Structure 1
Amino acid sequence: MSATLPPNFRRPLLLVLAIALLLGSATAWWLGGESSSKFAAAAMGRIGLVLAALWLAWPSLRRPARWFPPAVAVIGVVSLMVLAAQPRLIFAVVPAAATLISITMMVRGFRGPPKR
């Protein structure tokens, strides 16, 4: 038996995830005592803020996202979350994301236009 998802579940899901990460960040910050809990709280807070920004920008992001294959949006969001968690990884994440997006666009070009 497969569960059917409502057509507009992504924006509310972004909001729920952003709130959960921000609350988890605040909890880890105040209840944790070690430096590792502070690092985890900071990373969760940054990722929560990125997801909250995506939630706010969702209506304007829907149209350009249709131009690209679905994997491009996923690569972009994952790259943003990795950079929010650890900004020093920018020199590894940007080339990796660009390579993955290029490969995805080439595969789409070889397949031809999507069937409707």
Structure 2
Amino acid sequence: MTKGVLRVTIVEARHLKDTDIFGKSDPYVKLILDKHNVQSTKPKSNNLNPTYNEQFIFNINGQRKLAVQVWDKDTILRDDLIGDDDINLSEVFSKGYIDTWLKLTKGKFGFRERGELHLILEFAQ
């Protein structure tokens, strides 16, 4: 069972799909390791190509994947899912460092591309 510390840097997103009828989406990123380990960035107002540069620390205790979701913050209605995907953590466990663009494909409309998210993952035991 893999144990250690995972540092995730959400660098930026690009080409996010707009889910708002008026104005542009206010995207934020939610990282889900398991139901007890969920962290989020701050929303970026009216921006489909936001820069975050936010870091998150997770204690790994056997988890093998990280769910990544990009949401549109809505003040009146429920937040809308822009897109999501899962990261298999085995590569970062073996290499210790990954700098990647994750394609957000799932979303609520099936497997269409919903934008991309730039992530840096670092792992230390």
TM-score exceeds 0.5? no
TM-score for the superposition, normalised by structure 2: 0.25
TM-score for the superposition, normalised by structure 1: 0.26
Q: 1 or 2 for the larger relative contact order (CA 8 Å, sep ≥6)?
A: 2
Specify which structure has the higher proportion of strand: 2
Specify which structure has the higher proportion of helix: 1
